[in-house]
Amino acid sequence: MQNNMANNMNIITNKMLSIDKKAKERTLYGIIGFSIIVCALSALNYLMFLLGQSMFTIAGTTTWIVWFIVSAFRLIKFKHKTNDNSLCIKSALESKLHRVDKEIECYQTLIYWVLAPMSVGIVLILIGSQSSIITFISFVIFWVLGMYCANKYNLRYIDKSLKPIKQEITENLASLT
């Protein structure tokens, strides 16, 4: 029984290392990407101000800048420590379960803390650009479809990668009690 538990802990630890690596990559790429976008949008905002563009358009890009900064901080918040191997088995499993739950929360709420607030910026930009109603509706439909696809991708990742690990950790915790 003890040997089986040690083997299970090694398997879970290896899976958690993979999750941690993906989380670090997500955070790094997110922060770098968001930083580049914030710089580009800031320059665009300044240019639009100089060219006398609509305040709705400037407000829309400003909304994006703010939410990219907020999103970068949210990504940093979701980072977690990776070394919990010195704890007893039950504490280590509980720690791993908490980390998996945080990853699931990150992917489940991504649409709310990145894409939904950016939708406000899209609407403001479209209003400011004085585009036709057909263009406006087309962009909004395209944006909503993109959000739907992003959310489906995140939910599929949760179902295929994170939930099996969570189930395995939960079963190992149950076998300890």
| Mean pLDDT of successive 10-residue stretches along the chain, which has 177 residues | 70 80 80 85 84 85 86 75 63 86 87 80 83 85 88 91 90 81
- How many domains does the chain contain in total? 1
User: Is the distance from CB of 139 to CB of 122 less than 8 angstroms?
Assistant: yes
Query: What pLDDT shows up at residue 80?
Result: 57
Task: Give the DSSP per-residue string, 85-112.
Answer: TTS-HHHHHHHHHHHHHHHHHHHHHHII
Predicted confidence at residue 120, as pLDDT, reads 85
> What is the reported pLDDT for 81?
58
Interatomic CA distance for residues 2 and 71, integer angstroms: 43
Residues of the domain holding 116: 2-176
- Position 152 scores a pLDDT of 92
